[in-house]
Chain A
Amino acid sequence: MAAVGSREVKHSTKPAAQRRIDLNGYLFVLPFLVFYALFLIWPVILGMRMSFFNWSLVGTGAREFLGLTNFRELFADPDFWSSLWHSILFTLLVVPTIVVFALGLALLANRAIPARWFFRISFFAPYLLPSSVIALIWIWMYQPGFGLINSYLTRIGLPEVSWLTDPQVAMISVVIATVWWQLGFSFVLYLAGLQEIPKELYDAAAVDGASPLIRTRYITIPLLRRTTILVVALALLANLNVFDQIYIMSTSGGLDYASTRSLIVYVYEQGFTLYRVGYAAAMTYVFFVLVLAVSIGSFVLNNRRRDV
């Protein structure tokens, strides 16, 4: 006689009604599906087609079939490999830094009970700024002579650093700006994760004589495993595609292009500045395979650790 019983009846003896419910569902989803197909699925297919032709941004060359020439060219192109390496290096530098700092700051902020809201706002605020604003702020801070960082360095007697133009330092400069920008998001995730750890575990460990360090290492960090996996996965995917900061700092700030150009920046240069969208598309699909592998890897990892 319960509602559950009557719903089961609907399932088995009134298929027409169920089909109508299904139809309503699809109609609700249809507007989004149309946009999705038009702006995500169709361009992916079109891009795949472009990569086999000498497709130009101005529309010429769409009939010039090149087969695998674009792909052969990109595998032999030293700029492609160096750009790919820059994207990977950038990710390898940014992701661990964000994880470590976000966790550390979250642990600290977790203790500041009365002022926790203040730290939440201060660390999260940069994340709300658009990438172009971040790039411009840091360009000014990195300037030689009158830039904020260099003026402090010289004030304490250290030599100036050419943050943007020195190829040894340029990548690190972009990494620092990016970490400052994206830290807030992971910080908030960790802070939320910390709230969920039951206090009793800490109390029990303290009773057993565990020092704060041991408590952090054996209770906090393992219980944050899911958050860590989430943070790492999000940061990986976001930073493999790095474009904004490097592009803006190169064009508007004198960032050393040769040591920082990421793959997406190179794709943009080939496709939009040099009009070779066919070649750019080929590079994008090769990169897509790589990013897909990373996503699948993180997905598998996440699912296997479901025991937590």
Chain B
Amino acid sequence: MSGRNETSRRRLAQPISRRRFLYGAATALGGLAVTGCGAVSIGGTGRSVDFWNLFGGGDGARLGAMESTFRKDNPDIQLESTTLAWGAPYYTKLSMSAVGGRPPEVAILHQTHLASYAPAGLLEPLDPQLLSEFDIGPDNFLPTILESSKYEGEIYTIPLDTHPFIQYYNTDICKKAGLLGPDDELKPLEGPDAVIEALKKAKEVTGALGLSFYAADSAGPWRLFYTLYGQLEGSPIISPDTREVTVDEEKSLQALEFMVALSQDAEVVPVDLDYGGSVAEFLSGNAGFHWNGDWEVTTYQDADLPFSMVPFPNVFGENHISQADRHTFVIPKQPTKDPRAMEPAFQFISSMLKNSLVWAKGGHIPAYLPVAESEEYRKLSPQSNYVGVADNVVLDPEAWFSGSGSTMEQRASATFQTAMAGRLTPKQAFAELRTMLQEFVDTPKPV
């Protein structure tokens, strides 16, 4: 008895030598590494889908719900969804992953970036037969939308939605400003003066802002300008073969003068709000109106803000033309050549599209006809207010340097913001815009 105590005490008293400690640590780490290998092999049949997207905020929550549905319905497919930051860095990462041979199986791509991805061979062409097997064949989409998914006759993208630039308004503030009709809907605003008048009345009610808009942003001013330019039915700003700058000067100046009038003459919108700030201002009731894409509806609904959404007002023209982009699913160039290997990816895309009513609740206009034409979608309010806009949208010109989050949008936005701040005249801003476009057109194509 005492002998055993003495022995154990002696063993405890002996200090561990450095060599034994290192040896033991290395063995432990090796053991950990080996268990890691085991987990992967036990993991299942190996049908996995890596999905890259850029949906944060309210969109991210909706996406999560749709992904849960997919996981429940497809327990044999392992879904790994990665959300990356919106903007140019997402596109850099996606293209580099395709070039580097380690791309995700499915990714989101804005429609406007197809022109820089498809010619570079970064996407897999999609077989319409195979798509139809998964109920996502060409007949499930409008012909115009389907046409824009193609490059040189091959389908490369499967559209998820169209997200236009629209108008949010605070119903309480607009009621106090006398801008609502007898049905408590916003009275239609036709023409630049009517729009400015309405914003001024809203500003009187709030005492702060008439319009909350993100002028200090790399995309905001571009979207507003492009909407106004589209409403004026300006010519395409770049020729289809991207060799010439064909932007219409007079119409650009009209658009720019309206933007400058908003901030400088009527002073209904500040020029130093960034994206987060503009959402915060509208959310806290400091602004009567908010111009943004359709994706913030969940944010405002969750905060119980009294608001509604309508198509962008007819500042010029009559058809509520507005700037938009489309989210699409693409399959980046895969290292394996087996077409059947893409099946889990198609299964995923199919499930997403069939559940895109959830996505539509987040504000976007679904492209999948079975959902877009369904009763439930027609009943969604306020989303159903702007369904018709999808037929009258203007997308960025098809070029390697354009698209959502591109340098072209960023530079143009910087110029427009400077004009709205009164530091450039509309003529100077237009000159900068044209010079910038010309530089891009002259640059040798990297893709």
Q: Do A and B bind each other?
A: yes
Q: Is the CB of B274 within 8 A of A253?
A: yes
Set of chain B residues within 8 Å of A56, measured between Cβ atoms: 120, 446-447
Check if A224 is an interface residue, CB within 8 A of chain B.
no
For the complex formed, measure the closest distance between the CB of B278 and the CB atoms of chain A, giving whole angstroms.
Answer: 10
Q: Is the CB of A57 within 8 A of B216?
A: no
Set of chain A residues within 8 Å of B272, measured between Cβ atoms: 144, 162, 164-166, 254
Check if B410 is an interface residue, CB within 8 A of chain A.
yes
A267-284 CB mask vs B (1 if < 8 Å, else 0) is 001001111100000000
For the complex formed, measure the closest distance between the CB of A71 and the CB atoms of chain B, giving whole angstroms.
Answer: 15
Q: Is the CB of A61 within 8 A of B446?
A: yes
Q: Which residue of the partner chain, among B120, B274, B277, contacts A58 with CB atoms under 8 Å?
A: B120
Set of chain B residues within 8 Å of A164, measured between Cβ atoms: 216, 272, 274
Check if B218 is an interface residue, CB within 8 A of chain A.
yes
Set of chain B residues within 8 Å of A167, measured between Cβ atoms: 418, 423
B336-379 CB mask vs A (1 if < 8 Å, else 0) is 00000000000000000000000000000000000000000000
- Complex CA gap A269/B411 in Å reads 11
A134-145 CB mask vs B (1 if < 8 Å, else 0) is 000000000111
Set of chain B residues within 8 Å of A256, measured between Cβ atoms: 414
Q: Is the CB of B92 within 8 A of A254?
A: no
- Complex CA gap A163/B273 in Å reads 12
- Complex CA gap A54/B443 in Å reads 11
Set of chain A residues within 8 Å of B421, measured between Cβ atoms: 165
- Complex CA gap A146/B270 in Å reads 14
Q: Is the CB of B88 within 8 A of A273?
A: yes
Residue of A nearest to B415 (CB): A258
Q: Is the CB of B218 within 8 A of A57?
A: no
Check if A251 is an interface residue, CB within 8 A of chain B.
yes
Number of A-B contacts (CB under 8 A): 81
Residue of B nearest to A253 (CB): B274
Knowing A165-B216, A269-B407, say if A258 contacts B414 (CB, 8 Å).
Answer: yes
Q: Is the CB of B270 within 8 A of A144?
A: yes
Set of chain A residues within 8 Å of B325, measured between Cβ atoms: none
Q: Is the CB of B218 within 8 A of A58?
A: no
Q: How many B residues are at the interface, by size bracket?
A: 35 or more
Check if B328 is an interface residue, CB within 8 A of chain A.
no
Q: Is the CB of B216 within 8 A of A58?
A: no
Check if B149 is an interface residue, CB within 8 A of chain A.
no
Q: Is the CB of A274 within 8 A of B270?
A: no
Check if B95 is an interface residue, CB within 8 A of chain A.
yes
A36-60 CB mask vs B (1 if < 8 Å, else 0) is 0000000000000000001011111
Knowing A54-B444, A275-B446, say if A60 contacts B216 (CB, 8 Å).
Answer: no
Set of chain A residues within 8 Å of B400, measured between Cβ atoms: 275
Knowing A58-B122, A61-B446, A276-B443, say if A251 contacts B218 (CB, 8 Å).
Answer: yes
For the complex formed, measure the closest distance between the CB of A173 and the CB atoms of chain B, giving whole angstroms.
Answer: 12
Q: Is the CB of B446 within 8 A of A254?
A: no
Set of chain A residues within 8 Å of B120, measured between Cβ atoms: 56, 58, 60
Residue of B nearest to A59 (CB): B99
B-contacting residues, A251-305, CB 8 Å: 251, 253-254, 256-258, 269, 272-276
Check if B87 is an interface residue, CB within 8 A of chain A.
yes
Q: Is the CB of A254 within 8 A of B447?
A: no
B-contacting residues, A149-203, CB 8 Å: 162, 164-167
For the complex formed, measure the closest distance between the CB of A14 and the CB atoms of chain B, giving whole angstroms.
Answer: 30
- Complex CA gap A131/B446 in Å reads 31
Q: Is the CB of B273 within 8 A of A257?
A: no
- Complex CA gap A57/B96 in Å reads 7
Residue of A nearest to B444 (CB): A54
Knowing A56-B447, A254-B216, say if A275 contacts B95 (CB, 8 Å).
Answer: yes
Knowing A144-B273, A144-B277, say if A274 contacts B407 (CB, 8 Å).
Answer: yes
Set of chain B residues within 8 Å of A274, measured between Cβ atoms: 401, 407, 443, 446
Q: Nearest 4 A-B pairs (CB), nearest first?
A: A254-B216, A254-B274, A56-B446, A275-B446
Residue pairs across A and B with Cβ atoms less than 8 A apart, 9 shown, are A58-B447, A144-B273, A164-B216, A164-B274, A253-B274, A273-B92, A273-B407, A274-B443, A275-B95
Residues of A within 8 A of B (CB): 54, 56-61, 143-146, 162, 164-167, 251, 253-254, 256-258, 269, 272-276
If A58-B98, A258-B414, A269-B407 are given as contacts, then 10 extra A-B residue pairs at C-beta distance below 8 Å, sorted by A number, are A56-B446, A57-B446, A143-B277, A165-B417, A167-B418, A251-B88, A253-B274, A254-B274, A258-B418, A273-B406
